[in-house]
Amino acid sequence: MTISNLLVLGVTGDLTSRLLLPGLASLAVHRELPEGFRLTGAAVNDWDTGQFRHYVRESLGADGPESAAALEDLAARAAYHRADVTDPGQVRELVRSVTREGPVGIYLALPTGLIQEAVRALEGVALPPGSRLAIEKPFGHDASSAQELNASLSRVVGPLGERAVYRVDHVLAMSSLHNLLTLRMENRPLAATWSARDIARVEILWDETIDAHGRAAYYDRAGALRDVMQNHMVQVLCWVAMEPPEELTDEALDEAELEVLRRTRVVRDPSGHFMARRARYTSGVLARTGGAHGGRVEDYVDLEGVDPARDTETLAEVVLEVDLPRWRGTTFVMRAGKALAERRKGVLVHYRPSGTGRRHTPGDRPGVDNRLWIGIDGPDEVRLGLRGSALSPRPEHRPLLLTARVPPTGHPPYGNVLLDFLSGGSAHAVSAQEPVEAWRIFEPVLAEWDDPGSPMGAYMAGTAPQA
């Protein structure tokens, strides 16, 4: 059943203006919104519907008269209700007012600290059949709270069942990530080398050139590991390491991802400590790429909203092992950081020197670059570059470029998320158990970092991370 009624709780926040409304705009321009679509926003701001429609128009922007007409029609379909989304009585009245004509899609576009309260407020609401509830990551702050959130969500949806819960991870809406699995399954040279026999090390990188300015109050309560590693980067790990399922159904992919997470653990060094490091940036000059403005920035600890006593990291790196037959002997490294010299989001694969997992042969050239870069932060079409003997064994071969072809949707990631959510799909959502398993992997590292004696490194903003 397609949902034509969208209720956004926390509609005046950054998530709505920066991501949800542009996603809706893309669907409107491409005429992919459900027939009779209505948008209802709720927040504590003392607005009326006229002010909200103005806000919607300002957040959308138009490119040409045809686009302007579609977006004006979308704004005209918007309404606003002032409500405290953590108050059960107000939430009950709000939902009742918007569900008179059928199912509703409720999107919790709220700060992390309010999500659990808002879900509890929804527990007493009777949702019409076909309704769904979308929530954003992070899902809880540890495995226990993730399980508590799952239980609360189950009480909200009741007989509607687990399919009515949509745990958003927008990285799954990036066509480029889907290209990764397509390449693994359909490109024979790549598939033949995709195991520990040929691959020594896999790095999953989430390097950003922007600093934490503007998000510092949120970021200081999360840090690099909680903000992106425990969720977005875990999804990339799953798609790199999973056994390709026989059928590419949502259920089969969920189970393949869970199997990876259950078999993943953080490596310890000889002294018994986890092989994980953290650091935060000091003042420096940002790059001029990837959204960074190229200007000088102050120390992270001096930003408004930052409490230095929290010891929040802006860079995290963790060494993992995946105890699956395919990957025994391969090291996995995750790194996420802000205010770095270069924006890189993707997977860097280090092939073994011979490219076959065997000893060197006379045909191997010393110093050959056996690295494969798989970008996931660009156009829908991903290009992979490889030099060396792993996929092109003869020295005279030029660098090999492989291309995956997942048809582009024409939408930004959140356009894909909303289309999937409203149409009853779950391609861009994670299952209930995945966040619990992901927290299990990283909780021991976070506990070790909570020790007052745990080291905190430093790096100058705008520089490359040290090895």
Q: Residues of the chain whose pLDDT is less than 50?
A: 355-368, 380-383, 387-390, 392-401, 403-407
Cα–Cα distance for residue pair 201/36, rounded to 1 Å: 51
Q: What is the CATH number of domain 171-409+431-460?
A: 3.30.360.10
Smallest Cα–Cα separation from 94: which of 81, 109, 112? 81
Smallest Cα–Cα separation from 164: which of 173, 174, 154? 154
Q: For residue 134, give both structure tokens.
A: 């979308």
Predicted local confidence at residue 354, as pLDDT: 64
Token pair 């128009």 is at which residue? 57
Q: What is the CATH number of domain 5-168?
A: 3.40.50.720
Predicted local confidence at residue 384, as pLDDT: 52
Sequence-separated (6 or more) residues with CB below 8 Å from residue 335: 203, 204, 205, 206, 207, 315, 316, 317, 318, 465
- Report the chain's terminal Cα–Cα distance, integer Å: 51
Cα–Cα distance for residue pair 230/204, rounded to 1 Å: 12
Report DSSP letters for 124-151, one per residue.
Answer: T--PPTT-EEEEESP-SSSHHHHHHHHH
Predicted local confidence at residue 61, as pLDDT: 66
Predicted local confidence at residue 63, as pLDDT: 58
Cα–Cα distance for residue pair 58/72, rounded to 1 Å: 11
Torsion sign across C-alpha atoms 200, 280, 337, 387: negative
pLDDT tens digit string along 10-30? Answer: 999 989 998 999 999 999 988
Question: Rounded to 10 degrees, what is the CA torsion of 195, 196, 197, 203?
Answer: 90
Predicted local confidence at residue 48, as pLDDT: 95
**What is the maximum alpha-carbon separation in the chain?**
76
Sequence-separated (6 or more) residues with CB below 8 Å from residue 90: 83, 84, 121
Q: How far is CA 255 from the centre of its chain?
A: 19
Predicted local confidence at residue 9, as pLDDT: 97
Cα–Cα distance for residue pair 260/73, rounded to 1 Å: 45
Predicted local confidence at residue 393, as pLDDT: 39
Alpha helix (H) residue ranges in 378-456: 413-422, 433-449
Predicted local confidence at residue 38, as pLDDT: 95
Q: Which amino acid is at 372?
A: L
DSSP β-bridge partners for residue 460: 282
> Is the Cβ–Cβ distance between 317 and 333 less than 8 Å?
yes
Q: Which amino acid is at 66?
A: E
Token pair 């990283």 is at which residue? 442
Predicted local confidence at residue 62, as pLDDT: 54
Specify the pTM.
Answer: 0.88
Predicted local confidence at residue 394, as pLDDT: 36
Cα–Cα distance for residue pair 51/80, rounded to 1 Å: 9
Q: Do domains 5-168 and 171-409+431-460 have the same CATH topology?
A: no
Torsion sign across C-alpha atoms 248, 254, 256, 261: positive
Residue ranges covered by each domain of the chain: 5-168, 171-409+431-460
**H or E segment to which residue 239 belongs:** helix 234-241
Report DSSP letters for 163-216, one per residue.
Answer: GGEEEE-GGGG-HHHHHHHHHHHH-HHHHHT-STTTEEEEEEEEE-SS-STTTH
